[in-house]
Structure 1
């Protein structure tokens, strides 16, 4: 059986208003997740853009200095406040736009792309939301945890996935235990610690195979974002903001987008800042 390993991030910066550490490879170890970005954004960075074939999920940490506005072609315009979750299930296609509520203040969070099973690639798009106070919480000896999404939150998720945010006091331990049949990874958001075999520090990710687990010891106050899910083990074809099962579905998604089949987004009514006009043509 394979063992735990460390995954190194890719670092991204766009202008002065966006920076992120992202995990995209190897896909086999992230499945059913496609990517996770640990981001900081202080200005509108991306133009309105389409998504199809997966879920685009935004979670803001409780230390975020501002919230974010999430707009979509379903007619929604929602504020994501610190500690809150916004889940855009793109399905057959939706237009999307996100930017900080207050220009110049830093939104701090996770952008998570979750794959959809093949039979759900063309389902109708939908939006799900959770406020911080709606998320289940647990407390143990020297640690506390928040269930950001997963079965216990009541959200009708399209596939078995979960995210638990864990804060561990210096010198305390926390056991990561994966559900049967699921694999996972833990991002070190802040602090340092170790497992029996591997050192953990800010910006690293601990990958755990199906059936795996780990006891984490915090050398200093440690914050982990612990992801797990049942691998889909299905073909995946990526083309910019579209994630489909085959090339034909990608071509069809492009045609829907170009013909307006994913809806339209009007210009932002009151720009919070001067957009940097970067087109979100890739999954980053």
Structure 2
């Protein structure tokens, strides 16, 4: 029988402007998520780039010193405030760029790649957003939670997925329980605690099996990003910024990108 286990991050850095710890493997335990990065970004380090076959989702923590600007080849330029969510459903392909609203100040958040079902990988791209005040809150003695997406948060998601940010006071407990048919994981953002008999500290993630639950106890004040979703369990071929069902779709996505079929996005004008 599957049990809870710890997932170790991969750490990466781009110059002095971007650092992150991320989770990409084992994909079977993250499904329907492809990647989660806990990032800190101080400078524009990504040039305009394509995405196809999944959703690229950005959430900024409420302690972020600045917001983000998200641009895309659909003609949008969107401000993402601290505590806000921006969801780029790439579908058959879109060009994308994100950078701090105030260069030199730190944007602190999560970059999340959410897989699309095979029958939606070639759908038209779209953009969705939630402001902090639109996200449902719940609380009980010793903990507070913000429902970022999924659950009762108001986004029309292409597949059942959810993210909540949970703050647990030192010495208090929170019960993380998954619905039948869903699996998930909790990423420790700050603080120390334990769950399912395993130690939790910043940079560790606790994976729960389908329909599983765990009592999460904070030793120090503990902030968790709790992910859940219904696994797709479909073939997935990843090639750079593309996540398609097979090699043929990857080749077609490359051709769309090279011929302008994902639109155009010029490099941003430097201030």
TM-score (norm 2): 0.99
- 2:113 aligns with 113
- 2:204 aligns with 204
Q: CA deviation at 1:180?
A: 1.4
Structure 1 unaligned blocks of 5 or more: 273-284
- 2:152 aligns with 152
| Whole-angstrom distance in 2 between the partners of 1:260 and 1:236 | 24
Q: CA deviation at 1:266?
A: 2.3
Q: Deviations over 1:37-85 (max 9, x none)?
A: 0000000001100000000000000000000000000000001010000
Contact map agreement 2:48 2:266 (CA 8 A) in 1: no
Q: CA deviation at 1:97?
A: 0.4
- 1:243 aligns with 243
Worse-superposed segment, 194-203 or 235-244: 194-203
Indicate the SS of the match to 1:151: coil
TM-score (norm 1): 0.94
Aligned residues: 271
- 2:41 aligns with 41
| Whole-angstrom distance in 2 between the partners of 1:158 and 1:151 | 13
1:213 paired with 2:226, answer no
Runs of 4+ with >6 A deviation = none
Q: CA deviation at 1:196?
A: 4.0
- 1:256 aligns with 256
Alignment of 1:84-233 (within 5 A): 84-233=84-233
Q: CA deviation at 1:122?
A: 0.1
| Whole-angstrom distance in 1 between the partners of 2:211 and 2:256 | 40
Indicate the SS of the match to 1:153: coil
| Whole-angstrom distance in 2 between the partners of 1:197 and 1:235 | 33
Indicate the SS of the match to 2:35: strand
Q: Deviations over 1:84-112 (max 9, x none)?
A: 00000000000000000111000000000
